[in-house]
Amino acid sequence: MDSDNNIENVLFHNFCKLCESVSKCSDRKLKITKIKEYLRSLRVKCPDANFFILLRFFLPFFDRERGPYGIKEYNLAKIYIRILDLPKEGKDAKTLLNFRSPSTMSANQISTDFADVAYWILQNRCGNTSNLKIGEVDRYLDRISEEHAAHNPRAVDDILMELFRKMSAIEQKWLIRLILKHLNLGLGAKILMESYHPDAMELYDVCSNLKKVATRLNNENIRLHELDIHIFEPFRPMLSERIDISKKKFTGEYFIDEKLDGERFQIHYSNGKFKYFSRNSFEFTNIYGENHENGYFTSLLYPKIKPGVESFILDGEMMGWHTKKLQFVTKASNIDVKSLRVGDILQPCFCAFDIVYFNGTILTNRPNKERIDILQKIFEPCEGVIVHTPRILAKKHDDIMNALNNAIDNQLEGIIVKDINSLYKPNSRNSGWFKLKPEYTDGALVELDLLIIGGYYGEGRKKGIINQFLLGLAVPNKQGLKQFSSLCRVGSGYSNLELNELLSKLNPNWCKFRPGKSPPHLLLAREKPDVWIEPSKSHILQVKGSEVIISDLYHFGYTLRFPRVEKVRLDKPWNDCLTTVALAEIVKTYSAKLTNFKKRKHDSEIEIVEPSTSIDSSNIEKIGNIFDGKEICVLTGDNTISKETLQKMVVEQNGSSVNVPGIKTFCIIAGDINVRVQNIINAKKHVVCKPIWIENSIKNGKILPFFPDQILSAPIGKRLAIKKEYDRYLEENNEPIP
């Protein structure tokens, strides 16, 4: 153990040893135990110490005290090439610069994590350990952040070189992960937080402050019994659960709020002073005004506060108000409410729907109905400045159904249903608030957010002009949204003005479509566009269709009948479009208001076949024959090992890796459970097991039996055979491997 009872004097090498041990452990419970025992031993040795440095090391992506480093893998690779004096065309230099490419790695490397690749190169070039303490490393990181903020990249490089020359290879590996803010421990943020203290995640959700978590919860035996909301300190607001009304029966009384399409804001007030915070805890007081004398918006808001109100925190939506039309303008109109000014045609207006603090008292543990009663006494509504969110009381399920249908008829975004007895739980999405939008409801396909992935030239007077679009859905995978499945073609619903504005942004980026040379991000069937566009240079259209029908024209296998554009969403980022999995959930069992769903022959599940992501087996060196002659389908990885890594392990052991299971498939590997995986599990046509089976088989040098705790699904006959094989394995080996 470290020599001084101060957390700053903990050896950085000991922290790295712990991280290395945890990252290599395949047992999730054992990972957590290792971290808890490490923290507990430090608490015994340093009972009054502040654990902030350790927390920011374990959770670098949660640390808001320190600014960004401005360093990515490429910068680090360049620095290492200079430090190690590597030939620029040499193998090691190329490996660092192209660390994601499997072809640059040696046979026993399977990771594409830059820190692993750097360690591989450094392990024979550095000492075994150093005497650096985590306090010293923390101060080095402070300096890097400060120099980056000062736009001094050369100083950043000098600090990194100084630090790297002091560290062992293993220490540099974990420092790299700290800098890149991803430790790859195989544990989620919530688990890491709760390993420190059972209430740590709850407190962080309230305050978004890692230092406060470390300070308040330095004793794991002292629980946080009440949410700690303070005036003028932002917190993560309570959220709504997305549900399908056809699958939930509402009983009891609920408030129904109109779903507003603005920006979530909270207003803090105390004795004449105001602060404004966004949903993500960013402050915008300088825009709206700290008091009634120096802010246009605040000068209008302040007189509306009722007598006797000394302090409050309001939760609500900041909307754009059209002063001529006297109506709200949504974000879909391509406005930024933070840039609106009082006196313009469009000005900001705050719609209050909850209160969490009043005259020095926290109200989070009061029922919703009581909080709404208090909210009514805070201010006098003023059109275009501050108003109450439109709200009605529902006493039965039909009231909620009628409210949703009315929202559809009035072309509103949806409704929010709130249990009148629900408590206010910051950042919770499962605490009594429900979001009902048409696209979450079976049969009500309204305003689907689809990405433009191609275009079509018009004819006659519009010859040479793009006037129709091919729209697609994002296909989710571990690396993010990179491929798009075609869904429908649309050419109506927008005005000439909207079309011209959209084309002015798209036209410079169109690429001619060449048959047989479809770009890798585009997943097409028989329907081909005249031109295509890179996703990052495209835009989202909000589309409505009368019904969903089967179609082999489009890659998704279904399309929309009579699609038309409802809104051009220039305000939405390209990677925020609807996914294949989300649309599959929407159209599974249609029964609601707007559409009739034409089901497949067997009226069963919709299976979304993901695109092929097979690695190029020609570049993978065979290092064994464990899976010789076996066809293995890897569907998904999990939080400890990726799909691509599992596929590579199969090929390395002379197996055949496929993306679609068939009659020759020996087994299916699935870590994360998505719609496709769940459908295959339910079908029970193949053995479906967890990734640990592949890892354990390779560790033991032979194909192991499928242990019961690794099996997700199997045919009945195969299940009995597996049991016999498992029992025989126990007799021969006394006990299974861990």
214 Cβ contact partners less than 8 Å away, ≥ 6 residues apart: 50, 51, 52, 54, 55
**DSSP letters along 413-455, please?**
--EEEEETT----TT-SSSSEEEE-GGGSTT----EEEEEEEE
CA neighbor of 330 nearest in space, from 338, 340, 322, 320 = 320
Q: Which two tokens stand for residue 636?
A: 């998904």
**DSSP letters along 545-569, please?**
-SEEEE-SSSTTSEEEES-EEEEEE
User: Dmax over Cα atoms in the chain, in whole Å?
Assistant: 84
Place of tokens 């009948």: 561
Q: Tell me the β-bridge partners of 252.
A: none
Assign residue 522 a region: left if phi > 0, alpha if psi is -120 to 50, beta otherwise? beta
CA angle at residue 198 from 192 to 202, to 5 degrees? 85
Q: Which helix (H) or strand (E) holds 373?
A: helix 368-375
3-state secondary structure of 658: strand
Q: Which two tokens stand for residue 267?
A: 């207003």
216 Cβ contact partners less than 8 Å away, ≥ 6 residues apart: 203, 224, 228
Classify strands 540-544 and 522-523 as parallel, antiparallel or unpaired: unpaired
Q: Which two tokens stand for residue 122?
A: 């450094």
CA neighbor of 447 nearest in space, from 568, 606, 537, 327 = 568
Q: Which of 34, 259, 331, 572 is catalytic?
A: 259
Q: Give the count of beta carbons closer than 10 Å to the beta carbon of residue 257.
A: 22
Residue 188 phi, psi dihedral angles, 5° rounding = -75, 165
3-state secondary structure of 118: helix
C-alpha to C-alpha distance for 491 and 503, rounded to whole angstroms: 13
Q: Tell me the β-bridge partners of 490.
A: 469
3-state secondary structure 166-223: HCCHHHHHHHHHHHHCCCCCCCCHHHHHHHHCCCHHHHHHHHCCHHHHHHHCCCCCCC
Asked if 435 is an active-site residue, the reply is no
Active site residue ranges: 259
